[in-house]
Each structure stands twice: as C-alpha cells, then as structure tokens.
Amino acid sequence: MLRRVVVTGLGAVTPLGVGVQRTWQRLLAGESGIVSLAGRAPQERWKQLPSTVAGAVPEGRGEGEWNADDWLDAAEQRRMSRFTQFAIAATEMALTQARWPPSELGKTGRNTAAADDDSPYARTGVCLGSGIGNLEELYDTSMAYAEGGYKRVSPLFVPRILLNMAAGHISMRYGFQGPNHTVSTACTTGAHSLGDAARFIAMGDADVMVAGGAEACLHPLTLAGFARSRSLATPPAGAGTGDTWDARQSCRPFDRDRNGFVVAEGAAVLLLEELGHARARGVPILAELCGYGCSGDAWHMTAPHPSGIGALRAMRRALQSAGLRPRDVDYVNAHATGTLVGDAAEAAAIRTLMLDEGVADESTITVSSTKGAVGHLLGAAGSIEAIFSVLAINDNTQPIMCRHARPVLPAGVKSGDSIDDDDDSGGGGDNDDSSYSSGSKDGGQACSRAANSRGHRPCAAPIRSRPRRGSRGVRHFHATPRDANITERLGDMARQAMRRTVAPYSAFGATREMYQKCTQPAAYSISEEARRTDNVPTTEDGEEIGVGGGLWHDEFNLLASFSTWSQVTMLHMYLLVTRLRCFDKETYQMWQSMLSDHFFQEAEDKMDVVHHITSRGLRQRHLQDLFMAWRGVIVAYDEGLVRGDAVLAAALWRNLFKARPEVDLRHLAAVVSWMRRSVSRLGQMPDESVLLRSASGIFSWPSPEADLALVDRPATQELRALLQQHKENASTSAQGAPAENDVPEANGKGQLAAA
C-alpha cells in the first residue's frame, strides 16, 4: 500500500513579496506585483521590446523585500545564480515552519556523510527544478567570450547555469542525502517536482522531501524570445511599451481582452512528509497531497490542443489517483496565463471535467487564476499555485482573479464539501495534476490539484469546507443536482445558459461544440512527408492542396484546400447564425461573436501549423480577407434565402464552387435543398436544444442523391427555369468576374455551361 503524503511547510519568494503570508495577504487584497522594466539598464535593450512588463521580486531592505544578504553570505552569493538564491530562501522558510530537521539534529548536515541509511538526513531529499534558469549568466558569458576569449570565462560559469544546482545547493547546505532530483518541463516544472517528490515518499524512498520550483530570468533576451513567439501580453495600440501603460492591467486571465502572459520570477517550496512521520513529530499538517496525474498533448511545441484533452486527462488521472470524483471538487486554481489559446483550451477541459462528469449544484466549484497578481513564474508556477491552494484550504477562502473585467469564461462551481484542484501546463504539451485535502484531527487533509492545459501540470483539489469570505473576482456556474429528472435538468440548464452571469462561459463551451460540427465536414491535412520532400500539390493560383475525404471532397468534387475548408465551414456557421438571430440581441451577438472567434482562431492555426505561414503579418492579411469573405457570405446567403433558389444557387456557385463552369447542377441543387431543410430544422428546434450543445442533431449532411430526390419533385425543374433566366447575364460576365446573382445555365448533361 502506498504511503500517504502531507504538507508541513511552505516558503515563497514572489513578485508580491518575500514570505508566504506577505504574498498571500497581498493576493487576497487584490494587489499586483507586475511592474514595468522599461527603466532598467541598459535601457536601449528594454525600450525596443514590444512588452516590458514583468512580475519582479521587490528588492530592498524593507519588510517583504528581497535582500540576498538576509539569506546568504558573500561567498555563497558568488557561487549561486539568482534563481538558486530564491530557492534557498524559500527552502529555509519551509523548513522553519515544519521544524525540520529537529533542533537537536541541527540544520547543518555537512558531517553526516557516514550516517546510516535510516538517519533523518539520509531519509530527506530534494526535488526542485527550473524552466529556464540563469539566462543572464549565459548571455553575459557568451558576450565576454566573444570579446576576450577563453580567459574571460569564469570557472563558476558551468555550476551557475546548471538547473540541478539549486537542488544541489539545498542538499549541501542542509546535508540532505535522500533522492536529489531536478525537473525541467517548462511551465509545469514546479508541479512535476511536487508530484515526483510525493511519489518518492509514497514508494518509501524518502520520509521528507523539499519540493518546488524557482525562476529568475527577467532579461531582455527572455522577453524578446517570448515576444517573438507571440506569447507575451502587449499594450493596446497607442499605449506605448513603457511606464505610460499600466503594467498591472497587462495579465488578464479568462478576460475577453487578454492577449498574452507576463513573465515573472520567484521561488516556491513545499515540505512534503510521510503522514506517520509528521504525526510522530507532532507538527501541524497543512494539507494532504492525495493525488497526482500527468499527460502529454503530443500536439504542438507551444500551444495546447484546442480541446484541452491533455489537461483533461491529467486532471482525471489526479482525481482517480486521489480516489475522488469531479463532483468532490470545490475550487480549481487554474493555470490560465492570459493567452488566447491556452485559456480557452483549459476552460474547455475544466468544463468537460466538472460539468459533464457530475458536478452537483451551483456552489460546487470555483475557478480562479492568480497570475493576474504575480505573473507567470514559469518553472515555479506550479509550486506557487500549490501553495495558494493549500492556503485557500486552510483559510477557507479563494484567491481573487485580478484584472478580470470582461470575463469570457466561468470561474467555477460550488458544493458542500470542498476539494482543491490546481492545474498547470507547459511548452511541449506537458500536463500535470495533483490533489490535496485539508487537515483534520487525525492529520488527514483533502485538497486536490488538477491538470493544466498546456504542459505537464500538477493539480490540487480543495478540502471539504465552505468558504467564509466572499469570492471577489470569481464567478459561479450552475449545474443541476444529479438526482433531478431529465425535464428538470433540461429546463434548469436552459435557464442558466441564458443568465448573464454565466452566459459567456456557457456560450463558449456550447459554441465550441457547435463549431466542431461546422469545421469537420471539409477537414483536410498535409502530410509531413509531402512537406519535407516539397511534394505538396498546388492550384494554378498557388494554393496548397492537401488530403481530405467525405462528401464535400469526394461527392461534390471540391479540393481539399484551405479555401474549400473555410467556405464549407462558413456555410455551416451561417446556418447556425440564422437560428441564433431568434434570440435577444445581446445573446445573439455574444454567441455569434464566439462562434466567429473559434473560426478565425482555427484559421490562423491552419495557416501556421498546416501551411507553415510563419509571418504573422501575412497571416493577419489573410485573416482580414477571410473576415470580409465571412461578411459577404452572410449578406449573399441572406439574400438568397429571401429572394429564392436561383439567387441562393448563384451565391453558392460564386463562393463555394468558385464560379467553376463545370459544376454539376445536381450538386448545386442538392446544397440549396440541404440549406433550406437545415434552416427549417433549426427553426423547429427549441431554444434550449440550440443552447445546450445539441449541435449533433442540427445538420444532416447533404447527399446529392437524397436531396435531389426532394428537389426533383418539382423543385429541380423550377430551379432549372430560374437558373435559365440568368443565362444572358452569365454570358455577358464571362470575360470578367461573375455578376451578382449570376449562375451559368444548365446544359443537357446536367452540368453548368461555361459562363
């Protein structure tokens, strides 16, 4: 049987200050540690960056400010990089709180090399990592070597840049001779460190583990790299990049105006201990780490899978490991960094886990992200969020979500008993999740930490207790009690979907599912082999042709290309828009906007990932053209539905079939008939069926045979007659672009004659 793991000590150095309680109290007060670095030297390097805001640890000799002299002597400071110094300070705090090692043993284990395997020092290990580490040392040494050669390189260069030296220095400083382990998995480093450390204890390799992450890479090169990858929060147009832009407003998780994350520095350390070991010492138990799960997206270097499946998998595994159900979770500390893609994917994962798998009622779960206050600590993000989750459990409160002015996603759900869930993710598709529970009289606490959407993420699930304080900056989502009958469920969900407080999040999940039905029919791909061998076929206009399948490609003879995919997707979206117009103006505009957002986001992803259009400017120009095409499609199809089949067929011929003269009239008639039938079906659907993600019943894909069976009696003849009326206009426009509403005539072979 695996041994149980509890938390007995916490230590933190963050942009909100040095010390756990200072950081926590400032977080609850809604304060921010994000500042502008534009005034730092050398200013010419900072000024040219598109974003110069960061979460910087405050320095000085005042309360809560960082002063290395308080923790290290001069010789130690020379040997250690900044992130290692942060790690030492956070470790000292955690050890002091946990009263480890005991005072009778002392805190210097330098003479314990000969100790037996059962000694406290041999049974204490370190698991601490960093995402980037000492980038400044790498940069400065590279410049020095380029200018002065070999002798300009410090003998401390290599020890100062190794990521495992933080764990090594902690081990040497305190004499810990148990497992010494370093994790480096980008943004999930801190979470992975906690999960790995917990497993060392659970498997009996150690009784006590120092676990967490540290980061200190606030350098122009860091911000330049993230800015070039289009990941950083940038100021709005005209706001400038320096002090004129309020840095505190830059990181906006789950906000409609979010546009990137904010790099931050700091360290967070938790002292993990075997339950029986902690009880024997009589130390207070802060929480129990009761579950852990991780996964990989196998999707993209920096972006999560749009569905959030990797994060969902990690969260499920963490809860399964903890023996918990999704409905047991009351609070999720989300990874949510403020990026467009990452937050959306994570929200999708949380929604699937919590709402589709059994959350009970409206006060079941609350979701918030703390990055609006501290920024993204990269390698320390998972561990600082674990600390916030443990503190939330102990104080019966939830951290607020700063800069959450225009929410597009829900913050959570609540239930009677609480479980804390915290998720993290990182570049490369890592996802990690761990679970914690609050302490009780017998020393057991139940808090769980759930997986993040972008990389390996540990997650914490909250304890069983109702929060006393108001949840400022968090929003609540309602789900029907699980013992309700189906009528009550549908009615309640429909009413809640229409409520203003939950509509953005509800609409996001519903429109995502609707959109998936719109984008699937004309899906296509381009193989990596064809790309490597430069063997991707193209049209005369230079558009790449991929590999597709299904009715639109095989039956209607449309190319497996970006233009076909976009036109077929817009056609399906248009049919949904016709139904959404039946709702009130605010609901219609919000749902249509989110539906469009899904489309344009995937369109840019296809340009980048499938077609390798790496220029952001070029992609933006294509998106502008696509936006105009979307507006034109709405106008053209609206006119066709009102004025008749001939006008609708003309719009389809121009847009979907690109005015090809050889188009089979039966195909055109089939699509016209299918559109009419789909609009009729949508009009007959109850509002709740549309809003409650019943997209699977909306479309019955057009079939040339089935639809012609309908239009042939006598609609085919009527359509032919109407098309014939446009013969003259079609002929006169043969030398130029087809005139509006022009469609070629039908020849005797059932094909459209050349215009």
pLDDT per residue as tens digits for the range 54-85: 999 999 999 999 999 999 999 999 999 999 99
Helices 645-655, 616-643: axis angle to 10 degrees equals 160
Cα–Cα dist 482/495, whole Å: 17
Which of 123-137, 263-277, 364-378, 699-713 is predicted least confidently? 699-713
Cα–Cα dist 578/485, whole Å: 32
Task: Say what the pLDDT of residue 106 is.
Answer: 57
Which of 42-46, 362-366, 475-479 is predicted least confidently? 475-479
**What average pLDDT does range 469-497 have in this prediction?**
43
Under the banding of pLDDT at 50, 70 and 90, the label for residue 125 is very high
Name the catalytic one among 335, 456, 478, 598: 335
What are the phi and psi torsion angles at 296 (to 5°)?
Answer: -130, 140
Under the banding of pLDDT at 50, 70 and 90, the label for residue 555 is confident
Among 245-249, 356-360, 456-460, name the most confident range.
Answer: 245-249
pLDDT above 70: residue 302: yes
pLDDT above 80: residue 444: no
- C-alpha separations of 282 from 95, 425, 443, 734 in Å: 15, 35, 10, 90
How remote is the C-alpha of 35 from its chain's centroid? 24
Task: Say what the pLDDT of residue 703 is.
Answer: 56
Would you give the end-to-end CA distance of the chain in angstroms? 78
* Residues contacting 387, CB < 8 A, separation 6+: 10, 12, 20, 268, 270
Amino acid (1-letter code) at residue 24? W
Cα–Cα dist 7/270, whole Å: 7
pLDDT above 70: residue 468: no
* Residues contacting 360, CB < 8 A, separation 6+: 327, 415, 479, 481, 482
Task: Say what the pLDDT of residue 462 is.
Answer: 30
> Beta strand 53-55 with 124-129: parallel, antiparallel or unpaired?
unpaired
pLDDT above 80: residue 44: no
Under the banding of pLDDT at 50, 70 and 90, the label for residue 481 is very low
**Of all residues in the chain, what percent carry a pLDDT higher than 90?**
42
SS3 255: strand
User: Which two structure tokens, joined as six digits, stand for 93?
Assistant: 């705090």
DSSP letter assigned to residue 594: H
SS3 445: coil
Cα–Cα dist 81/232, whole Å: 25
- The whole-chain average pLDDT of the chain stands at 79
Task: Say what the pLDDT of residue 698 is.
Answer: 63
Residue 338 and residue 261 in contact, taking contact as beta carbons nearer than 8 Å = yes
Task: Say what the pLDDT of residue 603 is.
Answer: 92
How remote is the C-alpha of 451 from its chain's centroid? 11
Under the banding of pLDDT at 50, 70 and 90, the label for residue 413 is very low
**Of all residues in the chain, what percent carry a pLDDT higher than 70?**
73
Residue 174 and residue 109 in contact, taking contact as beta carbons nearer than 8 Å = yes
Task: Say what the pLDDT of residue 666 is.
Answer: 80
Strands, E assignment, 178-330: 180-181, 208-215, 266-274, 287-296
What are the phi and psi torsion angles at 433 (to 5°)?
Answer: -145, 135
**What average pLDDT does range 32-38 have in this prediction?**
91
Cα–Cα dist 413/451, whole Å: 17
pLDDT above 50: residue 476: no
Which of 104-113, 440-449, 505-514, 609-618 is predicted least confidently? 440-449
SS3 5: strand
CB 240: neighbour CB atoms within 10 A? 12
Task: Considering only residues 502 and 565, tell me which one the structure prediction assigns the higher pLDDT.
Answer: 565
The CATH architecture to which 5-109+118-448 belongs is 3-Layer(aba) Sandwich (3.40)
Residue 588 CA neighbour count, 13 Å, CB half: 11
Name the catalytic one among 187, 290, 402, 459: 187
Query: In the chain, where are the structural domains located?
Result: 5-109+118-448, 506-732
pLDDT above 80: residue 593: yes
Under the banding of pLDDT at 50, 70 and 90, the label for residue 665 is confident
Under the banding of pLDDT at 50, 70 and 90, the label for residue 455 is very low
Q: 633-646: string of b/e by CB count within 10 Å (b at 16+)?
A: bbebbbbbbeeebb
Q: What's this model's pTM, rounded to 2 decimal places?
A: 0.59
User: Which two structure tokens, joined as six digits, stand for 632?
Assistant: 């034109």
**What average pLDDT does range 432-459 have in this prediction?**
42
Task: Considering only residues 189 and 430, tell me which one the structure prediction assigns the higher pLDDT.
Answer: 189
User: Which two structure tokens, joined as six digits, stand for 393?
Assistant: 């459990």
Neighbouring-strand partners of residue 547: 525
pLDDT above 70: residue 48: yes
Among 397-401, 620-624, 709-713, 721-725, name the most confident range.
Answer: 620-624
Active site residue 187: yes
Under the banding of pLDDT at 50, 70 and 90, the label for residue 734 is very low
Task: Say what the pLDDT of residue 329 is.
Answer: 82
**What average pLDDT does range 154-179 have in this prediction?**
95
Task: Say what the pLDDT of residue 350 is.
Answer: 86
Cα–Cα dist 38/507, whole Å: 39
Residue 54 and residue 375 in contact, taking contact as beta carbons nearer than 8 Å = yes
SS3 34: strand
Among 64-78, 336-350, 726-740, name the most confident range.
Answer: 64-78
Please name which of 454, 467, 378, 451 lies closest in space to residue 414, comparing C-alpha atoms.
467
Task: Say what the pLDDT of residue 445 is.
Answer: 27
pLDDT above 80: residue 372: yes
Please name which of 280, 279, 297, 296 lies closest in space to residue 288, comparing C-alpha atoms.
279
**What average pLDDT does range 714-738 have in this prediction?**
49
Which of 200-209, 229-238, 375-384 is predicted least confidently? 229-238
| Diameter of the chain measured on Cα atoms | 102
Cα–Cα dist 460/315, whole Å: 9
Please name which of 384, 319, 386 lies closest in space to residue 354, comparing C-alpha atoms.
319
Strands, E assignment, 385-481: 413-414, 420-426, 430-438, 447-448
Cα–Cα dist 662/710, whole Å: 23
Cα–Cα dist 422/270, whole Å: 15
**What average pLDDT does range 505-522 have in this prediction?**
76
pLDDT per residue as tens digits for the range 518-547: 998 999 999 888 888 889 999 988 899 999
Among 36-40, 448-452, 544-548, 687-691, name the most confident range.
Answer: 544-548
pLDDT above 90: residue 279: yes
pLDDT above 70: residue 387: yes
Name the catalytic one among 277, 376, 611, 726: 376
What are the phi and psi torsion angles at 73 (to 5°)?
Answer: -85, 175
CB 712: neighbour CB atoms within 10 A? 14
User: Which two structure tokens, joined as six digits, stand for 198?
Assistant: 């917990």
Task: Say what the pLDDT of residue 544 is.
Answer: 93
Task: Considering only residues 361 and 364, tell me which one the structure prediction assigns the higher pLDDT.
Answer: 364
